[in-house]
C-alpha cells in the first residue's frame, strides 16, 4: 500500500533540504547572527563557507577564493549590496560568479535594480531555510554547468585553433612564378577554420592548374570538406589535366558526391588550366563568381566565363558528370594581362555604414590596383582596399588569387646562371645595361647590378649548390619599377637566426646569404622556401621617379 501523498511530499522536501550542495559560498552580511546562521545551514550540506561583514572585504575574498556563489545582503553600511553586486559584475575576474541578493526590501524596483546589476536571483528576508537551500542548490548546479560549458568551449577553441593552423598550412599563400605569369594569393577565414580551398598545381609537362573553391556554410564541416577538396583536386588534376578542366571537375564532382552524404554541402569552383605551348588558358566555372579580367589596363567583359558549367562541385542532384568541353571557356595568354579569381566573401562584404554589398565594385578596385607595378601582391592589396573603403570582410571566408600574365617586352633579363662567379659578374653587368636601356637611372641601375652580384655571389660561395648547378634569374622593368626574381635549389635559409645577427658581418655572409646588403639595396624583398627551392623576389623603385 503506497504512502499518503502528504507523507511522500514531506519526505521529498526533507530530502531536498538535506541534500549535499558541495560548493564554495561567500556570505556577505554586516550582522554576525545572520552570517553564523547561514554558515551553519550551508556547512551542514557540505558547502565550504566564507563570511565577511562588508563589501570591500567581500571583493578581496571573491578575487582570492573565487567562490561558486555569493550571498549578498542588500542593506549594509558604506558599500551596500547593490554597489557590491555592480563591482563584482564589472570586474572580469569575478563577473562569472553568480550572486543571490538577500533583501528585506519588497519593492519591485529594488528587485529590478539587483537584476540590472548582475544578480541572478533574490531571497526576501526573513527567508525560509528550505527556499534558501533550494535556490542555493539551483545556483550552484547552474554554476557547475556553466563551468563545464566554459571548459568545453576552451577545449573546442584550442582544437579549432590547431585545426585552423593545420588547414592554413595546406593553403599556402606563397607566390608562384613561371616564365609566363606570376600568381599571388590572399586567404582570410572568418573563423579559426575556413571553407575556402585553392591551389596552384604545376604539372610535369609545364602546364599549370589554378583553382578557387568555396564550400557552402561555415564551421567545422565546410572546413573538412575544403581540405578534402584540396587533397582530391590535386590527384584529379594530375590524372586528367590533359583532358582539360571539364574532365577534372567531373572526376572531382563524383568523388565529393560519394564521400559527402549531405545535400547541404557542396562547393562552387573556378578552375583554369594554362598550356605553355598554346599560350592558352582553359577555364571551367562551376557555379562560382566570374573572375575579373583586366587587359592592357582596362577591364574586359567577364560574362563569357559563365557560358557553361554552372553546377557546383558535389551538388547532390543531377548527373554525376555534369560538365563538358562545350562548357569550357578559353582565352589567350597575352602579355600585361591580369586575372582575379575570388570567393563571394569579397563581393558580399557589407559597408560598415550603409550595409550595402560590395558587389561589382571589386572589378573597379582590382582594375585600380593592377595599375601600380610596385604593389607585389595584388590579391592582398584588393582585400586591404576593401577594408580601407569600410567593407567588413569578417562575415565570410575571403580568398583572392591574382594571376599576372607577364609582358615579354618588360622582361629585360631571363636566363639560367651557372654556379660561376665570373658568369654572375657578367650577368650583373648585363642587368645594369638592360635596365638603363629601359630608362632607369644610372644610380638605380648600379643598385640592380649590386643586387644581382651580391645574391649570385652568396649562392656561389654559400648556397650549397653543386659544381654543375645553376639558378634562374628574371629581371623586369615596368615604368620606374625594377623587379628581380631568383630561384635556386640551394640550402634552406635560416632567416630568423640570420636576422638576429644583423651586426655580425661574418655570420651574415656565411649564413645570412647577404641579408644585410640586399636588405639595404631594395625597396622590398620577399624570401620563400617552396618545396626544395628558394625564391627571392626584390623590388627597386627608381629614385628619379619622384624627381620627375
Full DSSP string of 528-548: EEETTEEEEEEEEE-THHHH-
Is 35 strand, coil or helix?
helix
454 Cβ neighbours under 8 A, 6+ residues apart? 514, 517, 518, 521
Boundary residue ending a domain (358, 382, 406): 406
CA distances from 93 to 59, 96, 142, 315 (A): 10, 7, 18, 49
Among 534, 523, 454, smallest CA distance to 493 is for: 534
Rounded to two decimals, the pTM is 0.75
In this structure, the answer to whether residues 385 and 514 fall within a common structural domain is no
Distance CA 394, CA 306 (A): 27
Residue 477 DSSP symbol:
E
With respect to residue 386, please indicate whether it lies within any of the assigned structural domains.
yes
With respect to residue 58, please indicate whether it lies within any of the assigned structural domains.
yes
Query: To 5 degrees, how large is the angle CA 109–CA 115–CA 121?
Result: 110
In this structure, the answer to whether residues 47 and 196 fall within a common structural domain is no
CATH number, domain of 206, equals 3.60.40.10
Range of the domain at 78: 5-147
Burial of 47 (C-beta count, 10 Å sphere; 0-12/13-18/19+): buried
With respect to residue 156, please indicate whether it lies within any of the assigned structural domains.
no
With respect to residue 542, please indicate whether it lies within any of the assigned structural domains.
yes
Tens of pLDDT along the chain (548 residues)? Answer: 445 544 544 545 445 555 678 889 999 999 999 899 999 999 988 899 999 999 999 999 999 999 999 999 988 888 988 899 899 999 999 999 999 988 877 677 877 888 888 888 888 888 888 888 988 999 998 889 888 888 887 887 887 788 777 777 788 888 998 888 999 999 999 888 889 999 999 998 889 999 999 999 888 889 999 999 999 999 999 999 999 999 999 999 999 999 998 889 999 999 999 999 999 999 999 999 999 999 988 999 888 888 777 899 999 888 889 999 999 999 998 888 999 999 999 999 999 999 999 999 999 999 999 999 999 999 999 999 999 999 999 899 999 999 999 999 999 999 999 999 999 999 999 999 999 999 999 999 999 999 999 999 888 887 888 888 899 999 999 999 999 999 999 888 765 555 554 445 555 444 445 567 788 889 999 988 888 889 999 999 997 644 43
The residue with cell 645595361 is 433
In this structure, the answer to whether residues 396 and 414 fall within a common structural domain is no
Number of domains, the chain: 3
Beta-strand ranges (E) seen in 104-236 are: 121-124, 176-177, 181-188, 196-202, 208-215
Strand-pairing partners, residue 350, are: 357, 392
User: How many CB atoms lie under 10 A from the CB of residue 78?
Assistant: 9
With respect to residue 274, please indicate whether it lies within any of the assigned structural domains.
yes
Amino acid at each position: 500500500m503506497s504512502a499518503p501523498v502528504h507523507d511522500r511530499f514531506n519526505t521529498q522536501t526533507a530530502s531536498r533540504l538535506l541534500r549535499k550542495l558541495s560548493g564554495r559560498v561567500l556570505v556577505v552580511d554586516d550582522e554576525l547572527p545572520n552570517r553564523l546562521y547561514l554558515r551553519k545551514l550551508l556547512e551542514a550540506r557540505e558547502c565550504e563557507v566564507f563570511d565577511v561583514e562588508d563589501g570591500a572585504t567581500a571583493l578581496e575574498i571573491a578575487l582570492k577564493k573565487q567562490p561558486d556563489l555569493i550571498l549578498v545582503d542588500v542593506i549594509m553600511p558604506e558599500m551596500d549590496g547593490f554597489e557590491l553586486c555592480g563591482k563584482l559584475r564589472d570586474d572580469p575576474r569575478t563577473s562569472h560568479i553568480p550572486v543571490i541578493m538577500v533583501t528585506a526590501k519588497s519593492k519591485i524596483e529594488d528587485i529590478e535594480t539587483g537584476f540590472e546589476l548582475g544578480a541572478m536571483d533574490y531571497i526576501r528576508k526573513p527567508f525560509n531555510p528550505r527556499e534558501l537551500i533550494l535556490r542555493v542548490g539551483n545556483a550552484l548546479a547552474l554554476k557547475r554547468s556553466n563551468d563545464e560549458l566554459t571548459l568545453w568551449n576552451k577545449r573546442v577553441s584550442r582544437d579549432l585553433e590547431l585545426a585552423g593552423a593545420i588547414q592554413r598550412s595546406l593553403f599556402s599563400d606563397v607566390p608562384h612564378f613561371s616564365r609566363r605569369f606570376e600568381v599571388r594569393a590572399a586567404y582570410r577565414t572568418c573563423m579559426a577554420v575556413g571553407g575556402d580551398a585553392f591551389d596552384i598545381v604545376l604539372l610535369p609537362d609545364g602546364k599549370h592548374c589554378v583553382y578557387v573553391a568555396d564550400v557552402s556554410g561555415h564551421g567545422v564541416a565546410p572546413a573538412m570538406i575544403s581540405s578534402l577538396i584540396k587533397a582530391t583536386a590535386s590527384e584529379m588534376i594530375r590524372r586528367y589535366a590533359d583532358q582539360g578542366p571539364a574532365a577534372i571537375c567531373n572526376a572531382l564532382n563524383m568523388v565529393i558526391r560519394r564521400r559527402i552524404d549531405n545535400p547541404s554541402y557542396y562547393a562552387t569552383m573556378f578552375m583554369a588550366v594554362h598550356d605553355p605551348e598554346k599560350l592558352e588558358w582553359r577555364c571551367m566555372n562551376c557555379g562560382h563568381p566570374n573572375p575579373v579580367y583586366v587587359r592592357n589596363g582596362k577591364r574586359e567583359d567577364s560574362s563569357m566565363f559563365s557560358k557553361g558549367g554552372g553546377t557546383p562541385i558535389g551538388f547532390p542532384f543531377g548527373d554525376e558528370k555534369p560538365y563538358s568541353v562545350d562548357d569550357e571557356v578559353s582565352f589567350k595568354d597575352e602579355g600585361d594581362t591580369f586575372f582575379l579569381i575570388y570567393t563571394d566573401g569579397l563581393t558580399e562584404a557589407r559597408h560598415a555604414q550603409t550595409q550595402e554589398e560590395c558587389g561589382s565594385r571589386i572589378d573597379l578596385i582590382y582594375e585600380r590596383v593592377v595599375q601600380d607595378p610596385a604593389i607585389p601582391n595584388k590579391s592582398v592589396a584588393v582585400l586591404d582596399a576593401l577594408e580601407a573603403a569600410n567593407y567588413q570582410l569578417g562575415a565570410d571566408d575571403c580568398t583572392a588569387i591574382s594571376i599576372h600574365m607577364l609582358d615579354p617586352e618588360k622582361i629585360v633579363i631571363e636566363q639560367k646562371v651557372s654556379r660561376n662567379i665570373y658568369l654572375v659578374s657578367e650577368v650583373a653587368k648585363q642587368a645594369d645595361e638592360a635596365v638603363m636601356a629601359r630608362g632607369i637611372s644610372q644610380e638605380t641601375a648600379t643598385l640592380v647590378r649590386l643586387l644581382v652580384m651580391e645574391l649570385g655571389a652568396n649562392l656561389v660561395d654559400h648556397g650549397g649548390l653543386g659544381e654543375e648547378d645553376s639558378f634562374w634569374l628574371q629581371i623586369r622593368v615596368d615604368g620606374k619599377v625594377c623587379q628581380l626574381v631568383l630561384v635556386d635549389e640551394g640550402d634552406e635559409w635560416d632567416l630568423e637566426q640570420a636576422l638576429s645577427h644583423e651586426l655580425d658581418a661574418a655570420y651574415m655572409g656565411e649564413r645570412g646569404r647577404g641579408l644585410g646588403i640586399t636588405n639595404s639595396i631594395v625597396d622590398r624583398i620577399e624570401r620563400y622556401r617552396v618545396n626544395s627551392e628558394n625564391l627571392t623576389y626584390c623590388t627597386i623603385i627608381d629614385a628619379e621617379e619622384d624627381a620627375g
